[in-house]
Copies of this chain bind each other. A is one copy, B any other.
Amino acid sequence: MDSAEEHRSKGSKRAEAVSGSDFLQLDVGQAPPGGRTEWLTDRIRAAIADGTLPVGSRLPAGRVLAAELGVSRGLVTEAYQRLADAGQVLGRGRAGTTVVAGPMPASVPAPVPSPMPVPAPAPVPRAPLSAAPTGQLGAIPSGGSHRPAGPFAPAVPSAPVVDALRGVPCRIDLSPGVPDLTAFPRTAWLQAERRVLAGLTAADFGYGNPQGTPALRAAVTGWLARNRGIRADPDEVVVVAGVAQALGLLAHVLRENGVRRVAVEDPGSLGARQQLEYGRLETVPVPVDGSGIDTAALRAGGAGAVLLTPAHQFPTGVVLDGERRRELLGWAAAGGLVIEDDYDAEHRYDRAPVPALRALFPEGVCYAGSVSKLLAPALRLGWLLVPPRLRDAVVAAKRYADLGNPILAQLVLARLMDSGELERHLRFVRRRHRSRRDAMLRAIAAHLPGARIHGAAAGLHLMVTFDGADFEDTALAAAALVLGVKAHPLSWHRIRPGSPGLVLGYAAGPPGELEEGIALLGRALGRLR
Contact = CB atoms under 8 A, between A and B. Distances in A.
A241 B399 CA distance: 12
Chain B CB within 10 A, most for which of A242, A245, A400: A400
A184 B202 contact: yes
Nearest to A274: B400
Contacts of A403: 241-242, 244-245, 377, 380
Interface stretch (A187-195, A259-267, A512-520): A187-195
A408 interface: yes
Interface in A14-73: 63
Contacts of A527: none
A406 interface: yes
Interface in A241-262: 241-242, 244-245, 248
Interface string A155-194: 0000110010011000000000110011010100110011
Given A380-B405, A409-B409, A159 B399 contact: yes
A378 B407 contact: yes
Copies of chain A in the complex? 2
Given A206-B377, A206-B378, A207-B178, A400 B244 contact: yes
Contacts of A336: none
Contacts of A205: 181, 184, 376-379
A222 to B, nearest CB: 18
Given A202-B182, A380-B406, A248 B210 contact: no
Contacts of A376: 205-206
A115 interface: yes
A408 B94 contact: no
Contact of A206 (B93, B163, B181, B396): B181
A436 to B, nearest CB: 14
Interface string A208-226: 1111000000000000000
A445 interface: no
Contacts of A194: 190
A333 interface: no
A381 interface: yes
A392 interface: yes
A242 B204 CA distance: 17
A452 B381 CA distance: 46
A396 B184 contact: no
A53 to B, nearest CB: 22
A378 B204 contact: yes
B184 A190 contact: no
A275 interface: yes
Interface string A401-416: 1111111110000000
Nearest to A116: B203
A296 interface: no
Contacts of A378: 204-208, 406-408
Contact of A115 (B63, B201, B274, B395): B201
A400 B278 contact: yes
B407 A406 contact: no
A402 B402 contact: yes
A404 B167 CA distance: 15
Given A190-B194, A193-B193, A400 B202 contact: no
A163 B285 CA distance: 40
Contacts of A388: 63
Given A184-B202, A202-B181, A203-B181, A406 B392 contact: no
Contacts of A402: 241-242, 244-245, 248, 380, 401-402
A106 interface: no
Interface string A121-134: 00000000000000
A197 interface: yes
Nearest to A380: B406
A198 interface: yes
A126 to B, nearest CB: 26
A7 interface: no
A401 B248 contact: yes
Contacts of A193: 190, 193
A159 B208 contact: no
A31 to B, nearest CB: 24
Nearest to A382: B402
Nearest to A207: B377
A94 B202 contact: no
Contacts of A393: 94
A13 interface: no
Contacts of A184: 200, 202, 205
Q: Which are the 10 A-B pairs with shortest beta-carbon distances?
A: A205-B376, A241-B402, A378-B407, A181-B202, A181-B205, A94-B392, A278-B400, A380-B406, A245-B402, A182-B202
13 contacts: A93-B395, A93-B396, A94-B393, A163-B399, A166-B207, A189-B197, A190-B197, A205-B377, A206-B378, A207-B378, A241-B406, A248-B402, A274-B400
